[in-house]
Amino acid sequence: MGTAVVLLLVLLLFHVLAFGRDLLLVQEAARAGARVAATTTSDDAVVRLARDAADGMPVQVAISPPGRRAGDVVTVEVRWTSTLGPFSPTVRARAVARVEPVVGP
Protein backbone atom coordinates (compact mmCIF):
# COMPACT_ATOMS: atom_id res chain seq x y z
CA MET A 1 0.00 0.00 0.00
CA GLY A 2 2.83 2.39 0.84
CA THR A 3 4.44 1.78 -2.55
CA ALA A 4 1.20 2.62 -4.36
CA VAL A 5 0.90 5.93 -2.50
CA VAL A 6 4.51 6.83 -3.30
CA LEU A 7 3.99 5.98 -6.98
CA LEU A 8 0.81 8.07 -7.04
CA LEU A 9 2.65 11.03 -5.50
CA VAL A 10 5.50 10.68 -8.01
CA LEU A 11 2.99 10.60 -10.88
CA LEU A 12 1.27 13.70 -9.48
CA LEU A 13 4.63 15.44 -9.22
CA PHE A 14 5.41 14.66 -12.87
CA HIS A 15 2.04 16.10 -13.95
CA VAL A 16 2.62 19.27 -11.96
CA LEU A 17 6.12 19.67 -13.40
CA ALA A 18 4.85 19.11 -16.95
CA PHE A 19 2.10 21.68 -16.44
CA GLY A 20 4.64 24.16 -15.06
CA ARG A 21 6.81 23.62 -18.13
CA ASP A 22 3.82 24.27 -20.37
CA LEU A 23 3.03 27.49 -18.47
CA LEU A 24 6.56 28.73 -19.05
CA LEU A 25 6.44 27.81 -22.74
CA VAL A 26 3.17 29.71 -23.26
CA GLN A 27 4.60 32.76 -21.47
CA GLU A 28 7.76 32.61 -23.58
CA ALA A 29 5.67 32.30 -26.76
CA ALA A 30 3.74 35.46 -25.87
CA ARG A 31 6.96 37.35 -25.06
CA ALA A 32 8.65 36.27 -28.28
CA GLY A 33 5.55 37.14 -30.30
CA ALA A 34 5.35 40.63 -28.76
CA ARG A 35 9.01 41.23 -29.53
CA VAL A 36 8.51 40.34 -33.20
CA ALA A 37 5.28 42.36 -33.35
CA ALA A 38 7.22 45.39 -32.08
CA THR A 39 9.77 45.13 -34.86
CA THR A 40 7.72 44.02 -37.88
CA THR A 41 4.30 44.58 -39.42
CA SER A 42 3.81 40.95 -40.46
CA ASP A 43 1.21 39.10 -38.38
CA ASP A 44 2.29 35.84 -40.01
CA ALA A 45 5.81 36.28 -38.65
CA VAL A 46 4.43 36.93 -35.16
CA VAL A 47 2.27 33.80 -35.23
CA ARG A 48 5.05 31.67 -36.68
CA LEU A 49 7.61 32.75 -34.08
CA ALA A 50 5.15 32.40 -31.19
CA ARG A 51 4.33 28.85 -32.29
CA ASP A 52 8.03 28.05 -32.66
CA ALA A 53 8.69 29.36 -29.15
CA ALA A 54 5.88 27.15 -27.82
CA ASP A 55 7.94 24.10 -28.78
CA GLY A 56 5.33 22.48 -31.01
CA MET A 57 2.35 22.95 -28.69
CA PRO A 58 -0.88 23.71 -30.60
CA VAL A 59 -1.27 27.31 -29.39
CA GLN A 60 -3.64 30.01 -30.57
CA VAL A 61 -2.13 33.46 -31.10
CA ALA A 62 -4.09 36.73 -31.08
CA ILE A 63 -2.51 40.07 -32.02
CA SER A 64 -4.02 43.47 -31.35
CA PRO A 65 -4.22 45.96 -32.88
CA PRO A 66 -4.14 44.33 -36.33
CA GLY A 67 -2.50 47.33 -38.04
CA ARG A 68 0.55 48.74 -36.26
CA ARG A 69 2.49 51.97 -36.58
CA ALA A 70 5.58 53.21 -34.74
CA GLY A 71 4.72 54.12 -31.16
CA ASP A 72 1.60 51.94 -30.95
CA VAL A 73 1.28 49.43 -28.16
CA VAL A 74 0.85 45.89 -29.46
CA THR A 75 -0.50 43.01 -27.39
CA VAL A 76 0.11 39.36 -28.18
CA GLU A 77 -2.00 36.78 -26.36
CA VAL A 78 -1.19 33.08 -26.56
CA ARG A 79 -3.72 30.43 -25.46
CA TRP A 80 -3.33 26.71 -25.08
CA THR A 81 -5.74 24.12 -23.70
CA SER A 82 -4.02 21.51 -21.60
CA THR A 83 -5.23 18.01 -20.87
CA LEU A 84 -4.61 16.90 -17.31
CA GLY A 85 -6.59 13.73 -16.92
CA PRO A 86 -10.27 14.65 -16.84
CA PHE A 87 -9.49 18.40 -16.68
CA SER A 88 -8.86 20.75 -19.60
CA PRO A 89 -7.57 24.05 -18.21
CA THR A 90 -6.82 26.86 -20.65
CA VAL A 91 -3.44 28.48 -20.17
CA ARG A 92 -3.19 32.12 -21.29
CA ALA A 93 -0.29 34.50 -21.43
CA ARG A 94 -0.21 38.07 -22.66
CA ALA A 95 2.77 40.25 -23.53
CA VAL A 96 2.78 43.92 -24.46
CA ALA A 97 5.40 45.89 -26.40
CA ARG A 98 5.68 49.30 -28.01
CA VAL A 99 6.14 49.22 -31.79
CA GLU A 100 9.61 50.49 -32.66
CA PRO A 101 10.25 53.07 -35.35
CA VAL A 102 11.66 51.76 -38.61
CA VAL A 103 15.39 52.24 -38.86
CA GLY A 104 16.50 52.95 -42.38
CA PRO A 105 18.58 55.20 -44.63
pLDDT tens digits for range 37-73: 999 888 999 999 999 998 888 999 999 988 888 889 9
Q: Tell me: pLDDT of 105 over 60.
A: no
Domains of the chain listed by start with CATH number: 2-98 (3.30.1300)
Using pLDDT thresholds of 50, 70 and 90, give the confidence band for residue 89: confident
> By CB neighbour count within 10 A (0-12 exposed, 13-18 middle, 19+ buried), where does 105 fall?
exposed
Q: pLDDT at position 71, please?
A: 87
Distance CA 45, CA 58 (A): 16
CA angle 98, 100, 102 (to 5 degrees): 160
- Nearest Cα neighbor of 60 from 74, 72, 46, 73 is 46
Q: Tell me: pLDDT of 104 over 50.
A: no
